[in-house]
Amino acid sequence: MVKLYKGLPGYFKRRKLFQLALILFLIIGMVVFYVTGYIKFGSAKNLFTVMAILLALPLSKVTVILIAVFPYKSTNPEAFKKYTEQLQFGQFMTELAITNPNLPTLWAVYTFVHDRDVILLSKDRKGQKTDTATLKKQEEFIAGILAASGYQVNVKAFSAEDKFRMRFNDLTKKELSEEACLNTAVIARMVSKLAI
């Protein structure tokens, strides 16, 4: 089975394939239940038809996830490797699509967590720079979710990779205490849970 790890290169590609396989499995299951019931009882009015109809609920959920993930491309593994080779302290992730009910999905090409600092490189679906007003609202959304969990965090989203890289270079050189390492791991996990 293919492992799906958020934050690693190729996640979007693996997630799309997994969702497609799940959709196919559920559709086949629906057909098998319906046909089995029809052959066995000679009518569509039976428990097998009800089971086939109940499979429509998870099928719709899986389809919605596929539609949400479909527009996003996987990042270049070599570019990811360049960042991780420079990494001294902190946690680096890629391919996070952070959803917000009131704003467009934030495609975080790269995300770096260092103690109470979270920086993101964001692009839109076409790979263009995201406007600053939207980035500001997304920063507030992420900081608000983390604050609700008891973590006061500085969130900064960049649309230009050179600015992201400068901030990344500054942060990764700062050594982390044992408590800061624990904060980094917890915050990184929480940020990845915001993503689909």
At 93-115, the pLDDT tens digits run: 998 888 888 888 888 889 999 98
Asked if residue 5 belongs to a domain, the reply is no
Total domains present in the chain: 2
**How many other β-carbons are positioned within 10 Å of the β-carbon of residue 106?**
26
Dist. CA 57–CA 60, nearest whole Å: 5
pTM greater than 0.85 (yes/no): no
Are residues 176 and 113 both part of a single domain? yes
Are residues 18 and 49 both part of a single domain? yes
Of 20, 39, 69, which one is at a domain's C-terminal end? 69
* pLDDT at residue 1, rounded to an integer: 44
Asked if residue 6 belongs to a domain, the reply is no
DSSP string, 20-72: HHHHHHHHHHHHHHHHHHHHHHSSS-SHHHHHHHHTHHHHHHHHHHHHHHTTP
Q: Which domain holds residue 134?
A: 77-194
Asked if residue 1 belongs to a domain, the reply is no
